[in-house]
Amino acid sequence: MDFSIPPAAAALLAELRAFIHQELLPREPALLRAGFLASESELDQLRQRARRAGLWGPQIPKELGGLGLSLLDHALVSEQLGYSPFGHYVVGAQAPDAGNIELLHRYGSDEQRARYLLPLAAGQLRSCFSMTEPEHPGSNPTQLSCAARKGADGYIIDGHKWFTSSAEGAAFAIVMAITDPDAEPHRRASMFLVPTDTPGFVHVRNIPIFGHAGGGYDSHAELRYEACRVPLEARIGPEGAGFQIAQERLGPGRIHHCMRWLGICQRAFDLMCERARTRELEPGVPLASKQTIQTWVAESRARIDAARLLVLHTAWLIDQRGFAAAREQVSLIKFHVAELLGQVLDRAIQTHGALGLTDDTVLAFFYTRERGARIYDGPDEVHKAVVARRIFSAAARATRLEGPVR
Amino acid sequence: MDFSIPPAAAALLAELRAFIHQELLPREPALLRAGFLASESELDQLRQRARRAGLWGPQIPKELGGLGLSLLDHALVSEQLGYSPFGHYVVGAQAPDAGNIELLHRYGSDEQRARYLLPLAAGQLRSCFSMTEPEHPGSNPTQLSCAARKGADGYIIDGHKWFTSSAEGAAFAIVMAITDPDAEPHRRASMFLVPTDTPGFVHVRNIPIFGHAGGGYDSHAELRYEACRVPLEARIGPEGAGFQIAQERLGPGRIHHCMRWLGICQRAFDLMCERARTRELEPGVPLASKQTIQTWVAESRARIDAARLLVLHTAWLIDQRGFAAAREQVSLIKFHVAELLGQVLDRAIQTHGALGLTDDTVLAFFYTRERGARIYDGPDEVHKAVVARRIFSAAARATRLEGPVR
Amino acid sequence: MDFSIPPAAAALLAELRAFIHQELLPREPALLRAGFLASESELDQLRQRARRAGLWGPQIPKELGGLGLSLLDHALVSEQLGYSPFGHYVVGAQAPDAGNIELLHRYGSDEQRARYLLPLAAGQLRSCFSMTEPEHPGSNPTQLSCAARKGADGYIIDGHKWFTSSAEGAAFAIVMAITDPDAEPHRRASMFLVPTDTPGFVHVRNIPIFGHAGGGYDSHAELRYEACRVPLEARIGPEGAGFQIAQERLGPGRIHHCMRWLGICQRAFDLMCERARTRELEPGVPLASKQTIQTWVAESRARIDAARLLVLHTAWLIDQRGFAAAREQVSLIKFHVAELLGQVLDRAIQTHGALGLTDDTVLAFFYTRERGARIYDGPDEVHKAVVARRIFSAAARATRLEGPVR
Amino acid sequence: MDFSIPPAAAALLAELRAFIHQELLPREPALLRAGFLASESELDQLRQRARRAGLWGPQIPKELGGLGLSLLDHALVSEQLGYSPFGHYVVGAQAPDAGNIELLHRYGSDEQRARYLLPLAAGQLRSCFSMTEPEHPGSNPTQLSCAARKGADGYIIDGHKWFTSSAEGAAFAIVMAITDPDAEPHRRASMFLVPTDTPGFVHVRNIPIFGHAGGGYDSHAELRYEACRVPLEARIGPEGAGFQIAQERLGPGRIHHCMRWLGICQRAFDLMCERARTRELEPGVPLASKQTIQTWVAESRARIDAARLLVLHTAWLIDQRGFAAAREQVSLIKFHVAELLGQVLDRAIQTHGALGLTDDTVLAFFYTRERGARIYDGPDEVHKAVVARRIFSAAARATRLEGPVR
């Protein structure tokens, strides 16, 4: 076992950290005040600086102009980027585009690659991923209603989606729709690339979340597909392969999210320590002298460090043995890190007192923006049940082979 | 012991409940979308209806036109009102006016009563309470910097305050300021009634909280008092009595808040049950069939019921024996209910999945709006330390009287 | 609402408290060292003293020589008694005899009353209650295997039971056995009074629990009923009424246990405060000055007080409106107080440091002895699921009557 | 980063696992029933088998006849050994001997090495470590009262110790005593090797813990040193070096304990899964189908895996850069793993229902035996405060170097 980070990765991480601290953090308060939509041009300038610094596309394959990092290295990068809400965006590693790039790279046709993937990887356009439906629990992807009927010259898509993040301003959506309702559940759906200017692609609203509908990249749309016609070539991968493709999109995405959350944890931790050290309860008596704060700091440190190793180990396992070998770990890290994120943010806010409720620190932003971590990609409660069943099956197998547990 | 609610109170609670469910809740989504400021005229109409229904001013003394309820009865009323974010407002029981009414009723001069208290109790104007300062922890009221220097014909107030709720649009502020920095800590400050149009009363900004600066009644101001001159008669009560008056304002206010929080808990609980019963995971299998949700519902029910009795007992104790006899209980209920509120809201949101993040239910509003419950009036952590020291002192006394604990 | 304790009850509680502190606690360490079995004669002397002090049988009906208290008054008494592991025993209110007295009082035949109930109520003999089976979860009483076949002159009982508490030395067992396996589940079983010297009543062992098999009253037996013949008159109540009778035994028993646990909580709380106040970390710096201990003390106080009111309210409700009206509350208090008990004991031990692990305080005894609180009478997890389903049903009814929840 | 276990270590771990499962676990119930003291000869036979299998002394230096593993490899071994309460003992890696071996190896004189260390490392005699005093908190080692006065021909030790584990039957104690009360706190104490047959070495009692005084290796003694005379050569290391030596003993001991606890966690986890899979609530419905159990299993898996990586990383860090570089981590793992241990054991017991309370599984043994984990070597609460202060200092340094935290 060797826990050291290789020199090349360490150098990249150092550059990244410098970029975030010198270029991004000083601009962050103004960017947050203005919002993503109004900040697009400033963010584009930051993207250009990142590109010049050789930081563009850490997870993007080299042939598409990125750094082509291993999953483990990308994990370490994603943690650094998570430190700021704008981190992933300025190096082109933001969801949902990151997942869509990978998906199209693996399954896209030559035309799809040329027309959509290349400019997407270059940051010239944006995309969205349209799967969740309000009428069905996101935790059960066999419960979709959105359907794509096949006609002579293409498919007609009808359906109702929501939480299609970043749909406003996106050039295209990747849509999951039922193509064969009578197939066995995991073969029912297919994926389609639907340009957002296709007739029948209806943007109903940006859903207001904790009082904010947001806009542009920073929005979550409710959409309707109303007799939305696409050609046969709009399908991504084979018919019925929708779930399988979505699954494959999941593994790296999970690592990406968990390390991003750990980056946020680290930011909250740093702010908590800073506030504790500098806020005086009375002259000469800092908040840091209080045992409750000390307890929060110590517990947070241990939990962040442990969770970080758990995710890095999972990334390493996928790198070494593929996603299928790490299925259990990929479920574990989801709920483990999402819960931790909620706790660390809550304690950091409480440490700040009234200030923590205000937009004068980034904590309030993270507190609402990341409350969804315990919900999206399947609520934590579902992940726990799923992974436990997997563990019970493995235990049953082991017992058959090795005899009873004592 | 008798846990039954007397018929008169029960009848009032039934009327109140009917009013909230029939008059208020149907309008609530539109009111929330528009915000308090834009809803003022509609809220005024609701106030008139409440007045006609005999529900105005449950906590306001009869001689000021209210119902003059006991603290215990007001507690039960406050719970009902808490069910909606607009409940207290439409019957004239909203903070900070409720506390200011009580304060002026007890300590106001005849002129202050005539000019400010009567219209305040009648809902014709609004007020604010200006105590917390950004430079000092709210938990230690001896750490104020705001000072009122006494001159020949009045006081000159200089200071920096924040989280002066509802300052925008208020007719006057009640301000806590140091009048004698050399007195012993609890005799240093005095209270002043400062009309908001007084020169030197500077409204710096409405502080953005979780992304919302709000407006009007629904805002939390940062203020500066810049050589703000008030006559000698602006003082409320004797010089040096600021802390004592603030303390007295506290007891009923604590009951009011805790029961309001419990009303919110009940709202979240009802929504959680409703969602669990009606959301289907697959046809015929409601979310309510999942043990995790069942656990949340059962635990929440037990905790809400227990906390409710704890607060009611405290209100009863104050009614019977006065605030001083209930000091320990008043601290206990603060952190106990505030923590519960956070937990119940969090679980209700989680039960709703992605919907819980949106403004399509009232939960998201409560989640951010009430995060401050664990912070304002002194962070929970401070209350725990204070009440523990009180318990240790009582234990030391008991040991001296009764011999050692075995 | 009136939270005051009536003078008569208050006087009894004061006497009881004096008895426990003056008579019982000084002897407690020696009693604990020797164990129940070796302490029987000393405990009998204490019983006589309690009897002379007019404290015998608080829950026993007056016609059986007890005090015949209401359930609410008995609840308050049970809390006091719980302060010591020997409290209930020395006044004749100990489980399982207390429940058996009530059961026989209600359902026993004249002969059963004369021969068993009267001496049981007088403390002249002991009894046990034989229901739980190792092969079936205690949470599902329809899963019994123990069967009583009816013959011409009586029943033949065959079965395997465990956790039949206090069987060693008991004069008789009340046994739950299936009499009609084809009846609907809740009509399958009947109850029988089986003298322990009946042939076929086999005491397999006292089950070692956390390393202690105990003995006499203080033991939990594994039993076998091997063709154990009893006459027809051994049946208690009608055939098929076993579950119903067991249910009725439950309500008062639950109050009894929960208040006993709260008495233990109070003992642990007192010890925790005492240790904190008197243990010095360095000269002049008591443990009580540490914020973590302060937090534990404050939280424990709030939770104990709240839980106590919850149980007292439940007892009051049963007194006023019967057990059926309080079914939900009876489930809520079980898990709510059992969890609290575990937490308070754990914190009290942690406050004592290494001393808390030793038998030099009573905490270690309670820690293992009461770990079962979260398990017996149905694990907490089951109670939560059951009560949630009841709440969902009530919510469904309310919605049908009153319209949808908003 | 490389998370793989090198082939040599993997082979050793496999052998160890086979030994534990084949040789130790089948005998474990009988050993537990009989207790350590009565099982000594059987345990000696198991030691011989372990020795023959090449498993003796994983942490013992090669020159003393052990395997001389790195700390990281020993960590992995300790986890395997922790699976059974007898694991460490049968390979000669049990506390407190393991720590004493290391201490004497580093600081012992030639005579001490020849006479005590060699037979200790060979398992021919036992030892104990006598530091904690009942009058002083173990968390503050500068608060000792035990004193060693220097005379012409040696030292005279007077003091009162407790929780000197395994003193009964030990050949010698290593004793911490004040040699210079006027020195600065960390230079006050020295260490002494005191044979237990020295006059004045008084074994007061084996302290009863959760009802068990134990015996022999499995005991925790209260001792008095009454004018206990030892020669000058009995001192270990220089005068005043007691604390420093104790500190050095700590690092590897912490790894050893934490991995042992994780081995216990794994045992409890396996038993929990086995019970869940095989216990039927009704025919065909295993306990494993309940979501609460699934939640416990999933959360436990994630937390165990994460904590395990945290400890392994710490061991690796000590191997690479020495104990001083890992001071923060060594504190973090203590409380992090100790808390987890308590939680996993509690959940495993709850999963077993009434069975979990009995000695029919090993869980009840671990539940009481390991409750001290959160207390010994300094209570968790103290570790959290200490490590937080270290973190705050590091943060202050970083701010001076890098500018303010944003």
pLDDT digits (tens, 9 = 90+) for C58-79: 999 999 999 999 999 999 999 9
Q: Which of C240, C265, C284 is the last residue of a domain?
A: C240
List of chain D residues whose C-beta atoms are within 8 Å of the C-beta of residue C137: 279, 281, 287, 353
Binary contact (D298, A331; C-beta < 8 A): yes
Are residues C286 and C396 located together in one domain of the fold?
A: yes
- Contact criterion met (CB below 8 Å) for C230 and C154: yes
To the nearest 10 degrees (0 to 180), the angle between helices C71-81 and C291-321 is 150
- Contact criterion met (CB below 8 Å) for C397 and D243: no
Measured over all CA atoms, what is the biggest interatomic distance in chain B, rounded to whole angstroms?
79
Question: Which among D1, D276, D336 is the nearest to A302, CB-wise?
Answer: D336
Question: Which among D211, D359, D381 is the nearest to C359, CB-wise?
Answer: D211
Q: Which of D240, D265, D281 is the last residue of a domain?
A: D240
**C304/A369 Cα distance (integer angstroms):** 37
- DSSP per position, A313-365: HHHHHHHHH-GGGGHHHHHHHHHHHHHHHHHHHHHHHHHHTHHHHBTTSSHHH
List of chain B residues whose C-beta atoms are within 8 Å of the C-beta of residue A143: 282
Residue A278 domain-assigned?
yes
Domain CATH number, residue B390: 1.20.140.10
List of chain D residues whose C-beta atoms are within 8 Å of the C-beta of residue B297: none
Q: Is the peptide bond before A96 cis (omega within 30 degrees of 0)?
A: yes
Are residues D233 and D266 located together in one domain of the fold?
A: no
Question: Half-sphere exposure (CA, 13 Å, Cβ side) for A41?
Answer: 1
- Contact criterion met (CB below 8 Å) for C150 and C179: yes
C184 touches chain B (CB under 8 A): no
Question: Which among C139, C140, C364 is the nearest to D210, CB-wise?
Answer: C364
Are residues C161 and C32 located together in one domain of the fold?
A: no
Residue of C nearest to D364 (CA): C210
Q: Is the peptide bond before D96 cis (omega within 30 degrees of 0)?
A: yes
Question: What's the pLDDT tens digit per position in D367-406?
Answer: 999 999 999 988 999 999 999 999 999 999 988 887 778 7
Question: What's the pLDDT tens digit per position in D146-180?
Answer: 999 999 899 999 999 999 999 999 999 999 999 99
A305 touches chain D (CB under 8 A): yes
Residue of A nearest to D7 (CA): A1
Which are the contacts of C275, defined by CB distance < 8 A and separation ≥ 6?
A: C287, C348, C351, C352, C355
Domain CATH number, residue D202: 2.40.110.10
Phi and psi at A211, nearest 5°, equal 90, 0
Q: Which of D281, D291, D294 to mutate to test the interface with B (most CBs of B within 10 A)?
A: D291
Are residues D314 and D379 located together in one domain of the fold?
A: yes
* DSSP state at residue A2: B
Residue of C nearest to D363 (CA): C210
Are residues B252 and B205 located together in one domain of the fold?
A: no
Residue C138 has pLDDT above 80, yes or no: no
Of chain D, the end-to-end C-alpha distance in Å amounts to: 30
List of chain D residues whose C-beta atoms are within 8 Å of the C-beta of residue B295: 292
Burial level of D244, CB count in 10 A (0-12/13-18/19+)? middle
Average pLDDT of the residues in D216-224: 97
What is the DSSP pairing of strand C172-178 with strand C127-130?
Answer: parallel
**A310/C182 Cα distance (integer angstroms):** 54
Binary contact (B292, D290; C-beta < 8 A): no
User: What pLDDT was estimated at residue A139?
Assistant: 67
Residue C122 domain-assigned?
no
Residue A194 domain-assigned?
yes
Q: Give me the numbers of helices (H) and strands (E) for chain B, helices first please.
A: 14, 10
Binary contact (C306, B301; C-beta < 8 A): no
List of chain A residues whose C-beta atoms are within 8 Å of the C-beta of residue C287: none
Q: Tens of pLDDT along chain B (406 residues)?
A: 999 999 999 999 999 999 999 999 999 999 999 999 999 999 999 999 999 999 999 999 999 999 999 999 999 999 999 999 999 999 999 999 999 999 999 999 999 999 999 999 999 999 999 999 999 887 676 789 999 999 989 999 999 999 999 999 999 999 999 999 999 999 999 999 999 999 999 999 999 999 999 999 999 999 999 999 999 999 999 999 999 999 888 778 999 999 999 999 999 999 999 999 999 998 999 999 999 999 999 999 999 999 999 999 999 999 999 998 999 999 999 999 999 999 999 999 999 999 999 999 999 999 999 999 999 988 999 999 999 999 999 999 988 887 778 7
- DSSP per position, A294-314: HHHHHHHHHHHHHHHHHHHHH
User: What pLDDT was estimated at residue B405?
Assistant: 80
Residue C124 has pLDDT above 70, yes or no: yes
Binary contact (C371, D357; C-beta < 8 A): yes
Binary contact (C399, B274; C-beta < 8 A): yes
Residue C404 has pLDDT above 80, yes or no: no
Residue of A nearest to C290 (CA): A291
Are residues D162 and D139 located together in one domain of the fold?
A: yes
Residue of B nearest to C276 (CA): B392
List of chain B residues whose C-beta atoms are within 8 Å of the C-beta of residue A137: 279, 281, 287, 353
The shortest C-alpha distance from B204 to chain C (Å) reads 37
Chain length of chain C: 406
Binary contact (C292, A290; C-beta < 8 A): no
Which pair of structure tokens corresponds to residue C60?
């026993």
Which are the contacts of D393, defined by CB distance < 8 A and separation ≥ 6?
A: none
Average pLDDT of the residues in D9-17: 97
List of chain A residues whose C-beta atoms are within 8 Å of the C-beta of residue D305: 310, 313, 329, 332
The shortest C-alpha distance from C383 to chain D (Å) reads 12
Binary contact (B137, A162; C-beta < 8 A): no
Q: How far is CA B55 from CA B11, B62, B92, B132, D247, in A?
A: 12, 12, 9, 32, 70
Are residues C259 and C325 located together in one domain of the fold?
A: yes
Place C403 in a pLDDT band, splitting at 50, 70 and 90.
confident
List of chain C residues whose C-beta atoms are within 8 Å of the C-beta of residue A290: 291
Residue C142 has pLDDT above 80, yes or no: no
The shortest C-alpha distance from B290 to chain D (Å) reads 7
Domain CATH number, residue D82: 1.10.540.10
User: In chain D, which among 315-334 make CB contacts under 8 A with chain A?
Assistant: 316-317, 320, 328-329, 331-333
User: In chain C, which among 339-398 make CB contacts under 8 A with chain B?
Assistant: 381, 383-385, 387-389, 391-392, 395-396
A14 touches chain D (CB under 8 A): no
C229-249 core/surface letters (b: 16 or more CB in 10 A; e: else): ebeeebbbbebbbbbbbbebb
Place A347 in a pLDDT band, splitting at 50, 70 and 90.
very high
Residue of A nearest to B369 (CA): A357
Question: Which among B139, B210, B365 is the nearest to A367, CB-wise?
Answer: B210
Chain length of chain A: 406
Q: How far is CA B97 from CA B166, B202, B222, B256, in A?
A: 9, 20, 18, 12
User: What pLDDT was estimated at residue D139?
Assistant: 67
List of chain A residues whose C-beta atoms are within 8 Å of the C-beta of residue B211: 210-212, 359, 364-365, 368
User: What pLDDT was estimated at residue B269?
Assistant: 98
Q: Which of B208, B239, B270 is the last residue of a domain?
A: B239
List of chain D residues whose C-beta atoms are within 8 Å of the C-beta of residue C290: 381
Residue A121 domain-assigned?
no
Residue of A nearest to B133 (CA): A354
Residue D249 has pLDDT above 90, yes or no: no
Are residues A143 and A53 located together in one domain of the fold?
A: no
Binary contact (A301, D273; C-beta < 8 A): no
Residue A363 has pLDDT above 80, yes or no: yes
D163 touches chain C (CB under 8 A): yes
C278 touches chain A (CB under 8 A): no
Binary contact (B406, C26; C-beta < 8 A): yes
Residue D270 domain-assigned?
yes
Partners of B192 in the β-ladder: B175, B235
Are residues B232 and B265 located together in one domain of the fold?
A: no
The boundaries of the domain holding residue D256 are: 244-402
Average pLDDT of the residues in C153-158: 97
Residue type, B398: A
C129 touches chain B (CB under 8 A): no
User: What pLDDT was estimated at residue B374?
Assistant: 97
Residue C104 domain-assigned?
no
Are residues C188 and C285 located together in one domain of the fold?
A: no
Question: What's the pLDDT tens digit per position in C252-273?
Answer: 899 999 999 999 999 999 999 9
The shortest C-alpha distance from C210 to chain D (Å) reads 5
The shortest C-alpha distance from B3 to chain C (Å) reads 5
Question: Which among A5, A291, A302 is the nearest to D332, CB-wise?
Answer: A302
Are residues C351 and C261 located together in one domain of the fold?
A: yes
Sign of torsion, CA D349 D351 D357 D358? negative
Average pLDDT of the residues in A126-130: 97
- Range in A136-140, A246-250, B49-53, D69-73 the model is least confident about: A136-140
B146-165 core/surface letters (b: 16 or more CB in 10 A; e: else): bbbeeeeebbbbbbbbbbbb
Contacts 24+ apart (CB under 8 A), C15-22: C15/C53, C15/C54, C15/C55, C16/C55, C16/C77, C16/C80, C16/C81, C16/C91, C17/C80, C19/C49, C19/C50, C19/C53, C19/C55, C20/C80, C20/C81, C20/C83, C20/C84, C20/C87, C21/B402, C21/B406
Report the candidate in C241, C256, C223, C204 with the shortest Cα–Cα distance to residue C377.
C256
Residue of A nearest to B381 (CA): A292
Residue C105 domain-assigned?
no
List of chain B residues whose C-beta atoms are within 8 Å of the C-beta of residue A281: 137, 139-140
Residue C139 has pLDDT above 80, yes or no: no
Place C251 in a pLDDT band, splitting at 50, 70 and 90.
confident
To the nearest 10 degrees (0 to 180), the angle between helices B7-19 and B71-81 is 20
Q: What is the 3-state secondary structure (H, E, C) of C279-325?
A: CEEECCEEHHHCHHHHHHHHHHHHHHHHHHHHHHHHHHHHHHHCHHH
DSSP run (H or E) holding C356: helix C354-357
Residue D120 domain-assigned?
no
To the nearest 10 degrees (0 to 180), the angle between helices A242-278 and A291-321 is 150
Binary contact (A292, C290; C-beta < 8 A): no
**Structural domains of chain B, count:** 3
Which are the contacts of C69, defined by CB distance < 8 A and separation ≥ 6?
A: C9, C58, C59, C77
Phi and psi at B26, nearest 5°, equal -60, -30
Binary contact (D295, B290; C-beta < 8 A): no
Percent of chain A with pLDDT over 90: 92
Are residues A163 and A308 located together in one domain of the fold?
A: no
Binary contact (C292, A292; C-beta < 8 A): yes
To the nearest 10 degrees (0 to 180), the angle between helices B291-321 and C291-321 is 90
Question: What's the pLDDT tens digit per position in C370-396?
Answer: 999 999 988 999 999 999 999 999 999
List of chain D residues whose C-beta atoms are within 8 Å of the C-beta of residue A310: 302, 305-306, 309
Chain length of chain D: 406
